[in-house]
Structure 1
Amino acid sequence: MQTTTPRQLDAHLIERFAAIVGPRHALTAPSDIAPHLEEPRGLFSGRATLVLKPGSTQEVSRILTLASETGTPIVPQGGNTGLVGGQMPDGTGREVVLSLSRLNRIREIDLSSNTAVVEAGVVLQVLQEAASERDRLFPLALASQGSCQIGGNLSSNAGGIGALAYGTARDLCLGLEVVLPTGEVLDDLRSLKKDNTGYDLKDLFIGAEGTLGVITAAVVKLFPKPKGRELAWAGVGSPAAALALFESALAKAGAALTAFELMERTPLDFVLRHVPDTRPPLAGPHPWHVMLEISSGRSAEDARALMEEVLTAGFEAGRLEDAVIAQNEAQALALRHLREAMSEAQKPEGGSIKHDISVPVAAIPAFIEKAAEAVQSVLPGSRVVCFGHMGDGNLHYNVSQPVGMDRAEYLAHYRAMNDAVHAVVRAFGGSFSAEHGIGRMKREELIATQPAIATELMRRIKKAFDPAGIMNPGKVI
């Protein structure tokens, strides 16, 4: 897409960029730049000679104006928690990393409209806590919430455990402030629940991974804080039993069912083996596990009664083998930690090949069966590590190396394993990128597998918004 030859970052150009943000916020020392050059899994890295940390929307505008004039590629970066390389510069050293971490103000919390205006660099957990202090809930919840930032959440259309009841980041956003690659500012920070005035421009930027512009602020939805929340952990015999339990729970609880997570025994075993201070949630082993949450706007007693009704029905129908309800917040946190630690707990087991997929909820049991067959056809002895958000059809279908195999030898099968699992995903009408985005990792597969007209339309949009081709080149499209 690049239409302007990238200019080398010579000393004079670095000085021009640095003058916009001030010397303290223009990082050039290798030790200062290093944390911005590698993503959490270590799969993607890059080079850069300049990291800019603007402190205002106006500074972002001036940076992009200069970048367009000089053909300097810009890579927006939030908390650097992305898993597909979308926030990483390439290996040329010509790309400038634009860190949004200083844009970290919560500009407003409006209790009447249940909205908040937040800047892109606000850490997700900070927003959650600020909402809670005002007796409100911001329901986006991720394992990385202590470091990921709102701008990155929106740019990747983050999902997480709460998507079942509240939707993804896109569903939680009412308005955006965006700096376009030309330096122009789109100020659309409206908090309207209903607005049918033409194209919904904000949705082009949400999920675009910084390829169309830089999100600098957003209006997000808040919700009344539940008066009662109950968390339970259950053992089930199969994904089919879990699906039946989900359908029953949804019928009984409706919108009060705010989480429903499915986990194979293997990832739980990894957590218990490698994560300190964890303990089995149930008395005995089970092939599959479920974590479910019920929230009530009426009372704690109502939430408890509804959870007990769901679990009782599950036992009576033979869908549950065992279950426990958290008796206090400490127990609830311990159970959530078991689920949230499943990604990290895979590292000591050696190489892991990741898949962030979604299929129709009803197809999950059949998908799991067929995908397991596909995995073994690529490399017998590979260990499926399956867990995720069953309630919205999104599974983290990861595959750990066979016991005793060399890590590098195993990871040489990455492409073949991806192809095999994603073929099963497509057979069930699913998506190979449910919530992590495309970035560098999945760009070629997106182009190869989506309809040609979809690729062409995306390229037209990219060219219209970014004629100089400076915004996060080599990502998404």
Structure 2
Amino acid sequence: MDETPASLDPGLVDRFVAIVGKHHALTAPQDIAPHIEEPRGLFGGLTSLVLKPGSTEEVSRILKLATETGTPIVPQGGNTGLVGGQMPDATGREVVLSLSRLNRIREIDLSSNTAVVEAGVVLQTLQEAADVNDRLFPLSLASQGSCQVGGNLSSNAGGIGALAYGTARDLCLGLEVVLPTGEVLDDLRKLKKDNTGYDLKNLFIGAEGTLGIITAAVLKLFPKPKGRELAWAGVGSPVAALALFGAANDRAGTALTAFELMERTPLDFVLKHIPGVQPPLAGEHPWHVMLEISSGRSAEDARSLMEEVLAEGFEAGHVADAVIAQNETQALALRHLREAMSEAQRPEGGSIKHDISVPVAAIPEFIQRAGEAVQEVLPGSRVVCFGHMGDGNLHYNVSQPVGMDRAEYLAHYRSMNDAVHAVVRELHGSFSAEHGIGRMKREELIATQPTVATDLMRRVKAAFDPAGIMNPGKVI
């Protein structure tokens, strides 16, 4: 980036640095660089200061000073967000506040099946801590080795496990939040039933740091399944996949813990670009499904349910071929095929991405109509469709035509988004299912949601953040 960030007043910088200590305040360009670069390279920014507080009290002091001085603050977790919500703007006036040092698991309570964790805990660390205690934390994302719990909550992350366990919002019982004024809302309660007034925590979940900073949370844990079976099936169409989902849902019920739909194209990209992977099935199929069944009773029960679901699928003609993982190594290999699909797109050039949701029953219609809309915008574009069919969420990405210039292709970003999202709206869906709004989708949110909804959001923002310091230019 050619721009030079505007300099914050040196006296003000010294006051911020004094709160966290000079070893936890980044000012050198090489130290700041990882905090102003995001995964897609779409939303660069500038800053002259990154703060890494080590306690809720330090976060409180930072925000109090920021409000007093009108200094914009950009909260940042693992920096894995895909819509620019964690990026500062180009002015250089915004201070990045990294939560990475707030990384303690304060408590695991096996009686209440809860964990109290700080915002900087890496998702995989929490998963492993739950596993050691014979429990399951079911939020599962491709970025789980680096994304952090605070960011998961601030973006209301979804992922593969949302079918059975819900999104991050559903997994949270209580929060500790620092308000822009420096006040601390301590609502770290483990209650499943609590009707004492407004549900304040749900204002902060999914707000992307625009109302306050989540510093800790009470999260739900679940008994570890006694048996878990993973299968991969080849199907002829989204209609066949929908029929298989219906059968699996009817037979397995809440034991159906994942149902992923994938077009052949993203699988081809994985087999082409990701080292060490193998085709999941012997033949070629236009569509693929990865499904998981978990049983709280036994491994035999999970295997029996999976075999019944697949047998019914074969008999009805919905499944052309299938394989059940015979051990954890095979299961991990199949999961890797699905999780690597985003990464495998990069070598294919420019990609225009859509994180949409529609009613599950409307998925086949969406795929057909969106495919037609894509070709109208730019013939030869390659649809790369995969995602969480069980909860209606698809990552409907579109790779550039073979041989086209990347910059020329990405110039169609807005028109491609408009075409795909028009189909989504007609099917009463959402153009932001699990990645959030951030900078990328802010204008579209304001342009397409009811005026009264935008007005209410602005009133909430003004009430919580009258000085306008919290993650400005994001969401609303």
Q: Which amino acid aligns with 2:420?
A: V
The answer for the alignment partner of 2:36 in structure 1 is 37
**Residue 358 in structure 1 maps to residue 357 in structure 2:** yes
Residue 20 of structure 1 and its aligned partner are, at CA, apart by 0.1
Residue 11 of structure 1 and its aligned partner are, at CA, apart by 1.0
**What is the CA–CA distance in structure 1 between the aligned matches of 2:335 and 2:15, rounded to whole Å?**
48
Match of 2:66, SS state, is helix
Residue 411 of structure 1 and its aligned partner are, at CA, apart by 0.4
Per the normalisation by structure 1, the TM-score is: 0.98
Match of 2:88, SS state, is coil
- The 4+ residue runs of structure 1 with deviation greater than 2 A are none
**What is the CA–CA distance in structure 1 between the aligned matches of 2:78 and 2:380, rounded to whole Å?**
36
The answer for the alignment partner of 2:330 in structure 1 is 331
**What is the CA–CA distance in structure 1 between the aligned matches of 2:37 and 2:391, rounded to whole Å?**
30
For 1:335-350, what aligned pairs fall within 5 Å after superposition?
335-350=334-349
Match of 1:321, SS state, is strand
The answer for the alignment partner of 1:118 in structure 2 is 117
Q: Which amino acid aligns with 2:285?
A: H
**What is the CA–CA distance in structure 2 between the aligned matches of 1:130 and 1:355, rounded to whole Å?**
33
The answer for the alignment partner of 1:3 in structure 2 is none
For 1:355-434, what aligned pairs fall within 5 Å after superposition?
355-434=354-433
Query: Structure 1: which 5+ runs fail to align?
Result: 1-6
1:333-372 deviations in whole A, cap 9, x for unaligned?
Answer: 0000000000000000000000000000000001000000
**What is the CA–CA distance in structure 1 between the aligned matches of 2:146 and 2:379, rounded to whole Å?**
37
Residue 125 of structure 1 and its aligned partner are, at CA, apart by 0.1
The answer for the alignment partner of 1:84 in structure 2 is 83
Identity across aligned pairs (percent)? Answer: 86
Match of 1:112, SS state, is coil
Match of 1:343, SS state, is helix
The answer for the alignment partner of 1:4 in structure 2 is none
**What is the CA–CA distance in structure 1 between the aligned matches of 2:259 and 2:324, rounded to whole Å?**
14
The answer for the alignment partner of 1:443 in structure 2 is 442
Q: Which amino acid aligns with 1:451?
A: P
Match of 2:175, SS state, is strand
Residue 8 of structure 1 and its aligned partner are, at CA, apart by 5.8
Residue 101 of structure 1 and its aligned partner are, at CA, apart by 0.1
- Check the 8 A contact 2:230/2:331 in 1, yes or no: yes
The answer for the alignment partner of 2:199 in structure 1 is 200
Q: Which amino acid aligns with 2:208?
A: E
Match of 1:278, SS state, is coil
Residue 9 of structure 1 and its aligned partner are, at CA, apart by 1.1
**What is the CA–CA distance in structure 1 between the aligned matches of 2:198 and 2:49, rounded to whole Å?**
36
**What is the CA–CA distance in structure 2 between the aligned matches of 1:223 and 1:162, rounded to whole Å?**
12
The answer for the alignment partner of 2:61 in structure 1 is 62
Q: Which amino acid aligns with 2:381?
A: S
1:83-124 deviations in whole A, cap 9, x for unaligned?
Answer: 000000000110000000000000000000000000000000
Match of 2:185, SS state, is strand
**Residue 297 in structure 1 maps to residue 299 in structure 2:** no
For 1:176-325, what aligned pairs fall within 5 Å after superposition?
176-325=175-324
The answer for the alignment partner of 2:149 in structure 1 is 150
**What is the CA–CA distance in structure 1 between the aligned matches of 2:47 and 2:117, rounded to whole Å?**
28
**Residue 107 in structure 1 maps to residue 101 in structure 2:** no
Residue 10 of structure 1 and its aligned partner are, at CA, apart by 1.4
How many residue pairs match? The answer is 471
Q: Which amino acid aligns with 1:62?
A: R
- Check the 8 A contact 2:263/2:384 in 1, yes or no: yes
Q: Which amino acid aligns with 2:124?
A: Q
Per the normalisation by structure 2, the TM-score is: 0.99
The answer for the alignment partner of 2:3 in structure 1 is none
1:119-146 deviations in whole A, cap 9, x for unaligned?
Answer: 0000000000000000000000000000
**Residue 96 in structure 1 maps to residue 95 in structure 2:** yes
Q: Which amino acid aligns with 1:441?
A: M
**What is the CA–CA distance in structure 2 between the aligned matches of 1:272 and 1:408, rounded to whole Å?**
26
Residue 253 of structure 1 and its aligned partner are, at CA, apart by 0.1
- Check the 8 A contact 2:7/2:48 in 1, yes or no: no
Q: Which amino acid aligns with 1:367?
A: F
Match of 1:398, SS state, is strand
Query: Structure 2: which 5+ runs fail to align?
Result: 1-5
RMSD between aligned residues: 0.6
Q: Which amino acid aligns with 1:295?
A: S
**What is the CA–CA distance in structure 1 between the aligned matches of 2:299 and 2:17, rounded to whole Å?**
54
